[in-house]
Amino acid sequence: AQSVSQHNHHVILSEAASLELGCNYSYGGTVNLFWYVQYPGQHLQLLLKYFSGDPLVKGIKGFEAEFIKSKFSFNLRKPSVQWSDTAEYFCAFSDSSYKLIFGSGTRLLVRP
């Protein structure tokens, strides 16, 4: 069955630390990949997405993600986090249909 795994459920970092959140999916065909963010009390926002082309995708607020097909991974990175990055982050993928599957989320806490 198709699925998305986010192995880190909770991450705590200090400001200026580097961030990498893991995301792996299970599907053998062509995929579209997404990272969404949900700030406390707010709704889901799209951070970045990958459909084709350059596997290194840049999104909003200094985030980027790299699609590594051989590893079925789409990890999210940010070189230097800020307190305002405290949020829950969701990885998601869709296959050739409209079905969009989300991971269970990673809660990031950035300490000032």
State which of positions 81-100 bind another protein (CB under 8 A): 90, 92, 94, 96-100
CB atoms within 10 A of CB 106: 21
Least separation in angstroms between CB 44 and another protein: 5
- CB nearer another protein, residue 32 or residue 73: 32
Q: What is the DSSP letter of 10?
A: E
Using CB under 8 A as the binding rule, whether residue 70 contacts another protein is answered as: no
State which of positions 11-50 bind another protein (CB under 8 A): 32, 34, 43-44, 46, 49
Give residue for tokens 């990949």.
33
- Give residues with Cβ within 8 angstroms of 105, minimum separation 6: 6, 9, 38, 88, 89, 90
Taking only Cα atoms into account, the Rg of the chain, rounded to an integer number of angstroms, comes to: 13
Contacts with another protein by CB under 8 A lie at: 6, 9, 32, 34, 43-44, 46, 49, 51, 90, 92, 94, 96-105
